[in-house]
């Protein structure tokens, strides 16, 4: 896969946008998958979720901002 120079799309997400009482934000991720990977760890450590449900995954995907 070849990436263009300069204008790469970046993805951002904040936990608060899916109704969590949490100020956690992910910025500058290069893909939705990367955000989900980061959130997997975050959800486990901070929200004590063993895993992210499909329902939550959909919510997260809808809340991911592309910049």
Question: Residues interacting with Zn ion, by CB under 5 A?
Answer: 15, 20, 22, 24
Of 32 and 40, which has the nearer Cβ to Zn ion?
40
Smallest gap from residue 1 Cβ to Zn ion (A): 31
CB closer to Zn ion out of 8 and 48: 48
Instruction: Tell me the closest approach of the beta carbon of residue 46 to Zn ion, in angstroms.
Output: 5
* Nearest residue to 66 (alpha-carbon basis) of 13, 21, 19: 13
Q: Are the beta carbons of 67 and 25 closer than 8 angstroms?
A: no
Q: Around 52, how many Cα atoms within 13 Å sit in the side-chain half-sphere?
A: 20
């Amino acid at each position: 896969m070849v990436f263009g120079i300069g204008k790469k799309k970046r993805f951002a997400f904040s936990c608060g946008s899916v109704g969590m009482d949490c100020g956690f934000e992910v910025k500058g991720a290069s893909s939705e998958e990367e955000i989900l990977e980061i959130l997997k760890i975050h959800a486990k450590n901070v929200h004590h979720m063993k895993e992210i449900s499909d329902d939550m995954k959909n919510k997260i995907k809808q809340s991911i901002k592309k910049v």
